[in-house]
Amino acid sequence: ETGVTQSPTHLIKTRGQQVTLRCSSQSGHNTVSWYQQALGQGPQFIFQYYREEENGRGNFPPRFSGLQFPNYSSELNVNALELDDSALYLCASSPLVGPAEQYFGPGTRLTVT
Amino acid sequence: RKEVEQDPGPFNVPEGATVAFNCTYSNSASQSFFWYRQDCRKEPKLLMSVYSSGNEDGRFTAQLNRASQYISLLIRDSKLSDSATYLCVPDGGATNKLIFGTGTLLAVQP
């Protein structure tokens, strides 16, 4: 086990709603990255947080936003949910900022109906 | 051209076989490379990091050819427990992200 935890494990939302997903990083890790993994695809980078600031962003619209807290835990917020947002959302923590080795939590499976 | 290209498989091999996966990447600025394995409906788990020309860890060997922008993973003496999807992951160059391929599915048969 990596020590990265995520909540909730599963979530069902309706199109247009908003959702908040949570992640606690592994002890000693100060960097958190979020990924979206659709069925049959590899994880796609959403953004990375370091020292409570966004430190890189993938090709996702502004309705995907995040936060990092002083204890390095993080939240992913998605507004105005669309059907295509249905996916596994993965949080990964790293002891180094940037594209270093990353350790994943078990993910949150979001279904938008 | 896709950022990362992998043969999706499936690779069906008997126990004890040697199997190799290939991967090409498009960003010549990538410096760090990783192989992750992912079991069905689980999170990716780091298998190996590749920072220079290659790395070996027990039955697993990764090789990197920067000139050809090509990475490979060799698994010797395959075990049933090696059955998983193997993801090739270069870094995004100047960006702070990892770029995942769609993965290669390995099924080791008894």
Residues of B in CB contact (< 8 Å) with A are: 4, 31-32, 34, 41-46, 49, 87, 91-92, 95-103
Out of A7-21, A55-69, A96-110, B35-49, least confident range: A96-110
Closest residue in A to B35 (Cα) is A101
Q: Which residue among A41, A97, A107 sits closest to B43, beta carbon to beta carbon?
A: A107
- For residue A61, pLDDT over 80 is answered with yes
> Do A78 and A67 contact (CB within 8 A), yes or no?
no
Instruction: Work out how many CB contacts closer than 8 A connect A with B.
Output: 57
Asked if pLDDT for residue A88 goes beyond 80, the answer is yes
Would you give the DSSP letter of residue B3? S
Each residue's pLDDT tens digit, B39-95? 998 999 999 998 788 899 999 999 999 999 999 999 999 999 999 999 999 988 766
Contacts of A5 in chain B (CB under 8 A): none
**Three state DSSP letters for chain A:** CCCCEEECCEEEECCCCCEEEEEECCCCCCEEEEEEECCCCCCEEEEEEECCEEEEECCCCCCEEEEECCCCCEEEEECCCCHHHCEEEEEEEECCCCCCCCEECCCEEEEEC
